[in-house]
Structure 1
Amino acid sequence: MKQRVITIIIAALIFIPLLLLGGAWFNALVILMGLVAMSEVLRMKKRLLISPEAIISFLAILVMLLPSSVLDFLPDTFSTSGVFYFLILCLLVYTVFSKNRFSFDDAGALTLGALYLGKGFSYMMDARSESLAMVLYALFIVWITDSGAYLIGRQIGKNKLAPNVSPNKTWEGSIGGTVSAVVLLAIYLHLFPAVQQGYSFVSMLGLTLIFSIGGQLGDLVESALKRYYGVKDSGNILPGHGGIFDRFDSSLIVLPLMHFAGLF
């Protein structure tokens, strides 16, 4: 417990000031987190971080995270999606030269990892660019849902939510976490109505419910991934808390859902 508390304090001292600053400072942090999360996927796949497939994967997620203006030196035919696809072709070509050490399935896993993490973290930067209130809305949904599910599930949880993926989660905790998020975020939306982006207050409560459920699905997605690869945590960069992927798994679905809803 002491290690967990120390980690939270140190992480908060880094994350919160950069979150408040926004701009290039926050974007640099998010890009770094995306790269670390990609390294965690590679480690789960038991791939060396200096291997050809790792280098291509890091370049692929960087393409997703860096501003498109970075690629202005390339011909017009190379858009962000075009460069990303070119790197995926490089992964596939590498399967030919690796002598079966690196397979089509491996290339697929790394491609999906780069796309999932890259777009998820890029939406975090987009939300912060919209406003501080917008990205805090996303983070509060995740934090309140997670905390509410843990506290309520611990007290009254009996019925397992997804025993084959995450044995400790319960339906009671899941519902309690979502209800907690909707109630507390109702207060937040009242204080910061600009977050609603034209939606009515009631509609935003409905969206908050959907986002909260989506966040829990993001948690379960990563739990399924870890169970498949037989690891307890995605990484150990945050002692007592696991890896970056562990900490932002819910956000990687909440933020895209917010984007699809037109909030930023």
Structure 2
Amino acid sequence: MRQRVTTAVIALIIFIPLIVYGRLPLTIAAVVLGIIALDEVLIMKKMLLVSFEAIVSNLGLILLIIPDNWLNWLPDGLSRFFLFYVVVMLILLHTVVKKKRFTFDDAGVLTLAMLYIGTGFHYFVSARAVGLTTLLFGMFVVWLTDSGAYMIGRKIGKHKLAPKISPNKTWEGSVGGTIAATIILAIYLWFFPVGYNWIVMIILTVMLSIVGQFGDLIESSLKRYYGVKDSGRILPGHGGILDRFDSMLLVMPCLFLLGII
């Protein structure tokens, strides 16, 4: 527990100034975190981090994370998504070059990982560009839901939510986490309005809280498939970057889909 708390304090000391200042430092941080998260998937797949597929995947990830205005220099008709398509084609062609050593399934995993991680961190940066209160809203949805689910689940949790994927999660914790996040964020939104009117945002908070829990379960399913306890070891007591940002990788794009950013 002491190690877990120490890691959390150090992470917050580094992270809080970045999200407060935003701009280039936060974008660079998002790119670095995204690369580490993708590399965690590569390690789970037992792929070398200096291999062709790893390097190309990281380039594709960076392409997805960086802000739209960084690509204004591109000629008309040449978009971010076309460039990403080129990256995917290179990965697919690699299945021909390496034959059975790099398969179509491997290419599919890397493509999904790039989209999943890259899109999540892209809209993380986009939320901060809209405003600090908007980014904090999305982060609080995740943190409050997670903390509420953990504490309430420990106290009264009896019915397993997804025993084959995440045996410690319960329905009581899940519902309690969403209720706790919604109540606290209703107060936050009253003083720091974000997006739509107060009532609509409370409804959206409930939806985002549920989405965040699905993000957690998706990452848990990924770890179960590869037979690992944590996605990485970069954060002692907390696991890897995917372990810490799994919910945010779904919540941040949903802020965009719901028109909040």
Please identify, of 147-156 and 23-32, the stretch whose mean Cα deviation from structure 2 is larger: 23-32
What's the RMSD between the two structures over aligned residues? 1.2
Q: Deviations over 1:61-110 (max 9, x none)?
A: 01101234545565444311011000100000000111310000000000
* Structure-2 separation of matches of 1:73 and 1:202: 41
Partner of 1:95: 95
> Residues 170, 23 of structure 1: CA spacing in aligned structure 2 closer, same or farther, 3 A cutoff?
same
Partner of 1:9: 9
> Where does structure 2 lack aligned partners over 5 or more consecutive residues?
none
Partner of 2:206: 209
> Residues 8, 97 of structure 1: CA spacing in aligned structure 2 closer, same or farther, 3 A cutoff?
same
* Structure-2 separation of matches of 1:240 and 1:153: 20
* Structure-1 separation of matches of 2:255 and 2:74: 32
Q: Determine if contact 2:67/2:126 at 8 Å carries over to the other structure.
A: no
> 1:251: Cα distance to partner?
0.6
Partner of 1:249: 246
Partner of 2:234: 237
- The one-letter code matched in structure 2 to 1:78 is L
- The one-letter code matched in structure 1 to 2:153 is G
- 3-state SS, counterpart of residue 168 of structure 1: strand
Q: Which runs of 4 or more aligned residues in structure 1 lie more than 6 Å from their structure 2 counterparts after TM superposition?
A: none
Q: Deviations over 1:146-167 (max 9, x none)?
A: 0000000000000000011100
What is the total number of aligned residue pairs between the two structures? 261
Q: Determine if contact 2:67/2:125 at 8 Å carries over to the other structure.
A: no
Q: Deviations over 1:203-247 (max 9, x none)?
A: 111100000000000000000000001111111110110111110
Q: TM-score, normalized by length of structure 2?
A: 0.97
- 3-state SS, counterpart of residue 169 of structure 2: strand
Partner of 1:37: 37
> Where does structure 1 lack aligned partners over 5 or more consecutive residues?
none
Percent identity, please: 54
Partner of 2:18: 18
- 3-state SS, counterpart of residue 100 of structure 1: helix
- The one-letter code matched in structure 2 to 1:141 is V
For residue 216 of structure 2, the aligned residue among 212, 219, 239 is 219
Q: TM-score, normalized by length of structure 1?
A: 0.96
